[in-house]
């Protein structure tokens, strides 16, 4: 009986290792190309990974923050995608460089006219935005990701301070401090010239991450098999000694 309990404990511990080692699912995020400084302009990328093995991502809807409206939001054209920009009237007009702005972009929708984001791939959806607010440290964008089988994943949960990341977190853009001259214009010409090299490095990093994850999973499987083998040996030895 003691051997049986030890074997069961070992198996449970091995299973716990498997659960704790399982990689978290990727989700829709937003990151600046370069910096996103308060009061300035920036190009931001909404990164959309495909988490399904049997369906493609065919639509992305991003809702812009109503508490800090952006006077300008210009999406970059992407082959294979139709883009619709929705604007809404503002309750309080914005003062941008001495000009009153009475409406702002409230939502951008990308709809695939081809295969979309297929399993095993991700897509970046760039948008030039500004002027970024000077009185906020971050902006929250809520996103809906639609798959070819009509499943909709709602990336709309806002994380609260001191709590764990929610299951479907909304994309959050962190703003940096304003530059010395009080303005920021996003990526520089040098950033653009280095874009190709950066893309290659990102692809290499992604491949490396995938290999590391596979190695960790295989290692955990080996631990489980080993633990089960040890447990079987203990039980077999116990039975022989009892006989």
Q: Any idea which residue has 């300008």 for tokens?
A: 72
Instruction: In whole angstroms, give the CA distance from residue 69 to residue 173.
Output: 14
Matching residue, tokens 């009080």: 182
* pTM attached to this predicted model: 0.65
Query: In sequence order, which ranges of the chain are alpha helices (DSSP H)?
Result: 2-21, 189-193, 195-242
pLDDT value, residue 239: 52
SS3 46: strand
**Consecutive 10-residue runs of the chain (243 residues): their mean pLDDT?**
49 42 67 94 97 96 94 95 95 76 92 96 96 94 97 93 87 88 45 43 45 49 51 50 52
- HSE toward the beta carbon, residue 92, CA cutoff 13 A: 5
The reported pLDDT for the residue numbered 162 is 78
- Residue whose C-alpha is closest to residue 57's, from 166, 147, 143, 131: 147
Query: Biggest alpha carbon distance in the chain?
Result: 94
Distance CA 2, CA 154 (A): 49
Environment class of 1 (CB within 10 Å of its CB; exposed 0-12, middle 13-18, buried 19+): exposed
């Amino acid at each position: 009986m003691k051997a049986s309990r030890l074997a069961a404990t070992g198996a449970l511990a091995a299973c716990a290792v498997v659960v704790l080692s399982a990689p978290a699912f990727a989700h829709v995020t937003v990151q600046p190309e370069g910096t996103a400084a308060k009061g300035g302009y920036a190009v931001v990328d909404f990164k959309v990974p495909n988490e399904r093995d049997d369906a493609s991502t065919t639509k992305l809807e991003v809702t812009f923050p109503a508490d800090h409206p952006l006077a300008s939001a210009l999406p970059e054209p992407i082959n294979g995608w139709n883009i619709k920009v929705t604007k809404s009237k503002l309750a309080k007009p914005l003062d941008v460089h001495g000009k009153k702005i009475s409406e702002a972009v409230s939502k951008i929708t990308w709809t695939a006219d081809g295969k979309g984001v297929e399993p095993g791939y991700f897509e970046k959806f760039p948008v030039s935005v500004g002027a970024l607010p000077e009185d906020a440290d971050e902006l929250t964008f809520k996103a809906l990701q639609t798959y070819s089988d009509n499943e909709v994943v709602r990336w709309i949960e806002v994380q609260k301070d001191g709590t764990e990341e929610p299951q479907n977190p909304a994309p959050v853009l962190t703003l940096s401090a304003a530059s010395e001259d009080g303005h920021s214009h996003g990526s520089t010409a040098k950033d653009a010239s280095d874009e190709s090299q950066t893309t290659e490095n990102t692809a290499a990093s992604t491949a490396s991450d995938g290999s590391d994850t596979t190695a960790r999973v295989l290692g955990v499987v080996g631990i489980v098999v080993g633990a089960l083998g040890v447990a079987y040996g203990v039980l077999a030895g116990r039975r022989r000694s009892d006989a």
